[in-house]
């Protein structure tokens, strides 16, 4: 599948494109055809760009350093702009996380200096004159903040440098100051994030991640298993998981459970020893550590719903 965009780009001293604005994006524009009784014609690039203007796909465009860029979402990343465009497609909701091919993303992305007046190539930065400009260096990184490219609607973000491009935030999401959302992630409606959502993680609706909680992702030894949280889940403060949860599940504060840990599952007053990964996607479970013997136990969540503070969630 082809995704196409018109970009207004910026180059470094070596005339290599390092950053751009995505002015317009469209799927499969190369297959656009005009059909009627009299003729059938495949449009060329100039005609396609003309149609974008004619139908007012964007209101204003600067014609300096403008070009058409195309990416194939199943192919490996080939350049810095290709990587940024694929992350942008995730953030605007065109493609759900984990469906795009992000192989070689860190090899192709460039480490840039991100500031309040734009981004700069590291090698060129010291040669620039900023004497009369109030310059603030916000980060030196390969992946920018989400808000460098778009402002999500109906979302509250306490600290924007904690949310990276390539994350998708649904309506009603609140990201508190210590919350962190990495690229290639999905956050469902009305979630409150005070913990860390690692790359590759899918969080469903009405779920709370308590302060300093953590969800194991697919980077840094996390493996290829994609971890997801169901609707109405709660991760207590300083807790964490390395396996997927179903709906209406609770992890006790301070309890980190990896997929291979032994869980004492309580069924009709009897204990069954089972690995945590075998409880993945099962609804209505509570995980906690027995304060007397230290064993990790799991029982049925009889309430079948998590009571949340609606005032805090409302943004």
C-alpha span between 242 and 234 (Å, rounded)? 15
Catalytic residue among 62, 178, 194, 252: 194
Q: What is the pLDDT of residues 141-172, one digit of tens each?
A: 999 999 999 999 999 999 999 999 999 999 99
pTM: 0.86
pLDDT at 32 over 50: no
**Which of 152 and 313 is assigned the larger pLDDT?**
152
Q: What is the pLDDT of residues 79-132, one digit of tens each?
A: 999 999 999 999 999 999 999 999 999 999 999 999 988 888 988 887 777 676
* Cβ–Cβ under 8 Å, residues 194 and 313: no
pLDDT at 295 over 90: yes
Single out the residue of 298, 269, 295, 261 nearest to residue 282, CA to CA. Answer: 298
What pLDDT sits at residue 39?
41
Share of the chain above pLDDT 70, in %: 82
194 is catalytic: yes
Averaged pLDDT for residues 237-260: 96
* Cβ–Cβ under 8 Å, residues 236 and 209: no
CA 48 distance to own-chain centroid: 31
Q: What DSSP string describes the chain?
A: -EEEEEEEEEE-TTS-EEEEEEEEEEESGGG-EEESSS-EEE--HHHHHHHHHHTTS-S----SSEEEEEEETTSPP-SHHHHHHHHHHHHTTSS-TTSS--TTHHHHSPPEEEETTEEEEHHHHTTS--TTS---EEEEESS-BGGGT---TT-EES-GGGBBTTEEE-TT-EE-TT-EE-SSEEE-TT-EE-SEE-TT-EE-TT-EE-TT-EE--SSTT--SPPPEE-TT-EE-TT-EESS---SS-EE-TT-EE-TT-EEEEEETTEEEEEEGGGGTT-SSEEEEE-TTT--EEEEE-TT-S----HHHH--
pLDDT mean across residues, the chain: 86
What pLDDT sits at residue 27?
77
Averaged pLDDT for residues 210-224: 81
pLDDT at 37 over 70: no
Least confident of 97-111, 128-142, 200-214, 285-299: 128-142
CA 189 distance to own-chain centroid: 14
- Other beta carbons less than 10 A from residue 189's beta carbon: 16
C-alpha span between 84 and 7 (Å, rounded)? 11
40-60: burial string, b at 16+ Cβ within 10 Å, e else = eeebeeeebbeebeeeeeeee
pLDDT at 38 over 60: no
State the Cα torsion 146-147-150-153 to the nearest 10°.
100
């Amino acid at each position: 599948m082809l995704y196409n965009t018109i970009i207004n780009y910026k180059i470094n001293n070596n005339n290599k494109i390092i950053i751009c604005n995505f002015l317009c994006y469209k799927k499969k524009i190369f297959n656009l055809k005009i059909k009627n009784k009299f003729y059938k014609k495949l449009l060329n690039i100039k005609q396609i760009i003309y149609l974008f203007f004619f139908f007012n796909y964007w209101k204003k465009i600067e014609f300096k350093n403008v070009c058409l860029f195309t990416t194939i979402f199943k192919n490996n990343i080939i350049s810095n702009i290709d990587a940024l465009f694929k992350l942008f497609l995730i953030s605007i909701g065109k493609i759900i996380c984990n469906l795009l091919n992000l192989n070689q993303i860190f090899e192709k992305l460039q480490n840039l200096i991100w500031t309040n007046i734009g981004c700069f190539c590291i090698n060129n930065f010291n040669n620039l004159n900023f004497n009369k400009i109030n310059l603030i260096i916000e980060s030196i990184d390969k992946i920018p903040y989400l808000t460098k490219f778009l402002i999500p609607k109906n979302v509250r973000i306490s600290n924007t440098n904690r949310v990276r491009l390539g994350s998708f935030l649904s309506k009603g999401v609140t990201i508190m100051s210590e919350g962190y959302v990495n690229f290639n992630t999905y956050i469902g409606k009305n979630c409150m994030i005070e913990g860390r959502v690692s790359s590759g993680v899918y969080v469903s609706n009405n779920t709370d991640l308590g302060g300093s909680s953590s969800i194991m992702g697919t980077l840094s030894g996390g493996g290829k298993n994609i971890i997801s949280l169901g609707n109405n889940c709660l991760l207590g403060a300083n807790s964490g998981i390395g396996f997927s949860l179903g709906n209406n599940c609770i992890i006790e504060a301070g309890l980190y459970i990896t997929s291979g840990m032994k869980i004492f599952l309580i069924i009709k007053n009897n204990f069954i020893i089972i690995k945590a990964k075998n409880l993945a996607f099962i609804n209505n479970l509570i995980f906690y550590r027995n304060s007397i013997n230290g064993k990790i136990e799991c029982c049925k969540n009889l309430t079948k719903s998590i009571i949340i503070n609606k005032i805090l969630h409302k943004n």
